[in-house]
Structure 1
Amino acid sequence: GIGVANTVTDDDIEAIFARDDSAVHMGEGAAVGKRVTDFQLSDQSGASLKLSDLYKRGPVVLSFFPGDFTFSALDQLIDYRDAYEDFEALSLNLVGVTPNSVLNNGIFSSANQLPFKLLSDAGQRVSEVWYGKKFRWLLEQGSQGVFIVSQAGIIVERIIEPVTLHQAQSTKILSKVRALKARKQI
């Protein structure tokens, strides 16, 4: 069984996903192989951004994180910043999604020189759709989720990891993207 959040392993998470019907429990569009549910959020500059506009320009790496200025988010996003040229080399649109305000995202982005967009999901309505009701506890525990979306608007990869263990590092994401490209899935 699954105990306290800090004892949840990658194998536990994968077992949960294997047991459950992702289309039902993860929310419309969040299951691998399903078309995404489009959304529109404001980035750190206040500009409105639609997911569909992003994936039409190239595959999207959509990274949900618990909040600006948290230790785990800082580690994760600095890692992404440092590997940003690798994301660009693969023609990926890297986007962070946080429950923080546009203002906080702007301050956080500037302070850490982040070259990618941070979207404000105040109220976590978008995050709930992507995580789903069954896995809301992961979101509430500060889980970090990464979804890779093809240019056709199909989710081709999902990585959800409890924040207390580790974050989806850029090397792991880039490796998955290279494999997806090799199989012509993105």
Structure 2
Amino acid sequence: MAIEIGAEAPDFELKDNHGRTVRLSDFRGERNVVLFFYPFAFTSVCTGELRELRDHLDTFVNDDTQLLAVSNDSMHSLRVYGEQEGLEFPLLSDFWPHGVASRAYGVLDEDKGCAVRGTFVIDKAGVVRWSVVNALPDARDLDDYVKALATL
């Protein structure tokens, strides 16, 4: 079960596709966060969703907002994927300990070993203000994130 709206967002510490440590708490008091869980790099639906975010990057990475994309891929796979797709936002590896962040947000499919499609909009105070969780084959609607951010 996904974390509820109004709950404090669980902090995490993950490596990005360049080996840098990223903590959710680094953004507290500074920026809203769009936390975007996706199953795996190099898959068609995930790639389509991430390309759409890339193509609207100014909406999701600016002085007020930070996009963080999380998958259960290794940091090394994410580096290649990010370069191949021109993704200029952090791709966080929830590879080891396997699924620790995905599990904290209630979006880890334990049987498949990957996150389902969960997105959480977290305000500057670290509170979950909006979320959507879709099954593995079902892409999310980017306009929903834009509307959620506009309410903050």
Verify same fold: TM over 0.5: yes
More strand per residue: 1 or 2?
A: 2
SS of equivalent residue, structure 2 residue 61 = helix
Unaligned runs of 5+ in 2: none
Which of 12, 21, 41 pairs up with 1:68? 41
Which amino acid counterpart does residue 27 of structure 2 have in structure 1? Answer: L
Quick one: distance in 2 between partners of 1:96 and 1:54? 15
Q: Is the 8 A contact 1:141 1:163 kept in 2?
A: no
Quick one: distance in 1 between partners of 2:72 and 2:31? 25
Alignment of 1:124-163 (within 5 A): 124-131=99-106, 136=109, 143-163=116-136
Which of 138, 142, 146 pairs up with 1:170? 142
Which amino acid counterpart does residue 130 of structure 2 have in structure 1? Answer: E
More helix per residue: 1 or 2?
A: 1
Shift of 1:174: 0.5
Quick one: distance in 1 between partners of 2:141 and 2:112? 18
Unaligned runs of 5+ in 1: 1-24, 182-186
Quick one: distance in 2 between partners of 1:90 and 1:71? 31
Partner of 1:51: 24
Aligned pair 1:80/2:53, yes or no?
yes
Q: TM-score, normalised by structure 1?
A: 0.73
Which amino acid counterpart does residue 105 of structure 2 have in structure 1? Answer: W
Shift of 1:137: 6.4
Aligned length: 150
Q: Per-residue CA shift, 1:7-64, capped at 9, x if unaligned?
A: xxxxxxxxxxxxxxxxxx44xxx21101122110000000011101023320000000
Q: TM-score, normalised by structure 2?
A: 0.89
Q: Per-residue CA shift, 1:83-135, capped at 9, x if unaligned?
A: 10122357210010000011011110011111110100011111011016xx8
Shift of 1:168: 1.9
Quick one: distance in 2 between partners of 1:55 and 1:73? 27
SS of equivalent residue, structure 1 residue 105 = helix
